[in-house]
Homo-oligomer: A and B are copies of this chain.
C-alpha cells in the first residue's frame, strides 16, 4: 500500500508525457489530516535543483498538505524559469486542493538541465490530472510514477501499536552520502509535532540513507520527506516510533542498493573497533568509493590489499599495520598481513560482507554499497541521466 497504508493519505501516479516511454511520471501524495505535520531532509550538494530550493522554504514551518513529484526531468540548472515552474506546480496543486502553496512540496528527478516550456506544461497538466484521480489506495501508483532507471518500485510499511508507517522510494544510482538521486516519501497516521517529525526523520536517515554510498556521486535532487496525518489519534511512544521509522528507511535503503544501476553485488561494510562513529563512517565510505575494491568484488576477487590501501587514505584513528579484515566471514588479513588463503573466500553470492576491525575503540558503522561492473559503465555511458 506504500504511502497510502496509513490513514489520512491519498495518492496517485499518472503519465504526463515527461518520459519518452509513456510510463507514469507524475505522482501526488496528499495529507488529509487532521494534522499537516511535515519534515524533510535534502541533498547536501551545493548544486541544488529548483524543487529542492522550493521545498527547503516550504518545509520551514513544519506544515505540509501535499507533495508533487515528477520523474523525466530534474529541473536543475534551469535558472529562474525552472524555479517558476516549481512555484507554479505548487500553486496549481494548492489551488486544486484548496490549500496554501507554501504547504505543497515539489520533487523532481531525471536529466539535469531539463526544464523548458514543454516540461512546465506537462508537469502542470500532469499535476491536474493526478489530483483528479487521488485515492486512498493510490500508493502503489505513486511509487511507480517516481521510477527512473529503477527496475522495480520500492515500498515499505510498518504496523505499529495503533499507528502505521508507509513509504515509497526511487533511486538506482548516484546513491551517495547524504542521500543521492533518491526521492523518498514516508507517511504516518501517528500524532507527531513538526519538531518530533524532524527529529525522528533525521535520526532515521542518519543511519540508513546517509550510510548508502553506491557510487560516490551525490545528486542535486535528493529529498526524503515525512508526512504525519495524526489520523490514528495515537501518540506513539517515541523510541518505538523512531525504531520503526528507522526500520522502514533501512528496508527502502536496502531495496535501493539491490536495484543500483548495473550492480552484481550488494556489499555491506561493517567497521568496528573505531575510536569514533565518524571514524567508522569515514573508513567505510573510503572503501565504498574505491574503484579498485569495487571492481575486485565484481571479479569475485578477495583482494584484501585493496581494502587496506583504500582505508589508508583516511584520517581515522587506527594503525594501518594492525587491522583485521574479513570477507564473507573469512579473515583474510590480520594485523595488516595475510591470514587465511584467499581461495577460502566465496564471493559469488550477491550479498557480500566486509568486516574491518580497527582495534582503536568501541564504535561501529555499516556502509552499504555496490560493486563496479560493466553494466554500471554501460548504463551510465549509453544514456543521459
- Residues on A lying within 8 angstroms of B by beta carbon are 44-48, 74, 76-79, 111-113, 173-174, 215-220, 289-292, 295-296, 298-299, 301, 303-306, 308-314, 320-321, 333, 335-338, 372-374, 376-378, 380-384
Residues in B with CB closer than 8 Å to A333 are 77, 113
If A216-B291, A299-B382, A384-B301 touch, whether A112 touches B77 (CB-CB below 8 Å) is: no
Chain B residue with the shortest CB-CB distance to A382: B299
Chain B residue with the shortest CB-CB distance to A81: B337
- The one of B111, B311, B382 that contacts A305, using a Cβ cutoff of 8 Å: B111
Q: Does the CB pair A47–B320 fall under 8 Å?
A: yes
**What is the CB-to-nearest-CB distance from A193 to chain B, in angstroms, rounded to a whole number?**
33
Apart from A77-B337, A79-B335, A296-B380, 6 more pairs, CB < 8 Å:
A47-B312, A79-B337, A112-B308, A174-B309, A301-B384, A372-B377
Interface SS of A by simple majority = loop
Q: Does the CB pair B218–A309 fall under 8 Å?
A: yes
Chain B residue with the shortest CB-CB distance to A74: B305
Q: Does the CB pair B312–A220 fall under 8 Å?
A: yes
Chain B residue with the shortest CB-CB distance to A76: B305
Q: Does the CB pair A296–B381 fall under 8 Å?
A: yes
Q: How far apart sit A380 and B312, CA to CA, in the bound complex (Å)?
A: 19
Q: How far apart sit A282 and B333, CA to CA, in the bound complex (Å)?
A: 33
Chain B residue with the shortest CB-CB distance to A78: B337
Interface centre among A173, A220, A383 (most CB of B within 10 A): A220
Q: Does the CB pair A298–B377 fall under 8 Å?
A: yes
Q: Does the CB pair A309–B372 fall under 8 Å?
A: no
Some 26 contacts from A to B, beta carbons below 8 A apart, are: A45-B309, A46-B320, A78-B338, A79-B335, A79-B336, A79-B337, A112-B303, A112-B304, A112-B308, A113-B304, A113-B305, A113-B333, A216-B290, A217-B306, A218-B312, A291-B372, A296-B381, A299-B380, A299-B381, A299-B382, A299-B383, A301-B384, A372-B377, A374-B374, A374-B377, A376-B377
Residues in B with CB closer than 8 Å to A220 are 305, 308-309, 312
Q: Does the CB pair A312–B46 fall under 8 Å?
A: yes
Q: Does the CB pair B305–A112 fall under 8 Å?
A: yes
Q: How far apart sit A156 and B94, CA to CA, in the bound complex (Å)?
A: 68
Q: How far apart sit A314 and B173, CA to CA, in the bound complex (Å)?
A: 20
If A216-B290, A217-B291 touch, whether A308 touches B381 (CB-CB below 8 Å) is: no
Residues in B with CB closer than 8 Å to A373 are 377, 381
**What is the CB-to-nearest-CB distance from A149 to chain B, in angstroms, rounded to a whole number?**
12
Chain B residue with the shortest CB-CB distance to A319: B46
